[in-house]
Amino acid sequence: MNTTSSTGFVYHADYLKHDTGVHPETAERLRVIIRKLEETGIAEKLRRIVPTKASKEQLRSVHAPEYIKEVEAICRRGGGALDPDTPLCADTYEIAMLAAGGVTKAVDEVMDESNSLKHVFALIRPPGHHATPNKGMGFCIFNNIAIAAEHLKREYGINRVLIADWDVHHGNGTQEVFFDDASVLYFSTHQYPHYPGTGWIDEVGTGEGEGFTVNAPLPAGTDDDSYLYALSNILVPIAMEFRPDFVLVSVGFDAHAADPLASMNVTSRGFGRFTSLLKDIAGKNSHGRIVMALEGGYNLNAIAESALSVFNSLLSDESELRVKESEIRASERVRIRVEEVKEVQRRYWDI
């Protein structure tokens, strides 16, 4: 491990203890990523961050106390399920706190001005972006990225946080947490229609938060260039106008062409290109500060290669964006959808 690198990762072997049985979201997902980092020598270029559990106060910054107690009680009884998709084992409560704590620890390390750390990818499980204030669903227990955003606001006084979510499923939980909050800009690009059924272009926030939720629902089959076209034409101009002080990313690898739970056509290299774009936004607005948290992705080879691509992008000084190339190659269906999103968002942004 490199103790002076500007790029790091969060990992703990205890994340493997969240036992889901026969299920797409398994401990093997993290094992294959760590193995890939070690086999390629990338791990030696990264700073390893050991997570600590989130406090109950941190959990309550996002989740209702009754829901937190429900999860704890189910796990104390030996396990159960929050819904047909979201199993809990005896260890899940503690491990879900460690997952949330992994992202807040990443934030603390990046915010620490005494070191050179700028970019951290938290390799955590269980994932979080479907978890709402009052319930877990879609494999998610606590909303890790939302808890990290609240931590930034409460502990560091950061009042402009960008959360970019490129998981193939809409992050309904994260959207709900910040739907009326102007201090957090939530951007999601996702397959639509698809689980959980939310994330249409007219979901823009409410009250003070109106205009600070941006949804870019994309059709099945969307590839690297079309994704990058959407990100470049929607996320980039809005983010540059918002001027985030910190960038958080919900990283799902389930838009990969090989993923069994979705129908997109992204390559492993594509995720590296997306990372370059987010790095560029962070570099121009938030002193380069960016924390990424693992969400979905269920083809083991695909997620290992995709994670490697993300780390290579974080470590590189060169950009692989090739935006002009994407402008030419983007599909007509995605071009039309991007214009539809822009038409809605022009009420709030110069786009």
Residues forming the active site: 130
Cis peptide before 193 (omega within 30 of 0): yes
Q: CA 207 to CA 30: how far, in whole Å?
A: 39
Three-class DSSP category at 28: helix
Q: What is 88-132 written as a DSSP string?
A: EETTHHHHHHHHHHHHHHHHHHHH-TTS---EEEE--SS--TT--
Give which of 17, 183, 8 is closest to 97, Cα–Cα: 17
Cis peptide before 65 (omega within 30 of 0): no
Contact 307, 253 (CB under 8 A): yes
Q: CA 206 to CA 204: how far, in whole Å?
A: 7
β-pair partners for 86: 83
Q: Kindly report the number of other CB atoms within 10 A of residue 132's CB atom.
A: 20
Angstrom distances, CA of residue 132 to CA of 50, 129, 138, 178: 26, 8, 11, 10
Give which of 242, 246, 270 is closest to 258, Cα–Cα: 270
14 burial (CB, 10 Å; 0-12 / 13-18 / 19+) is middle
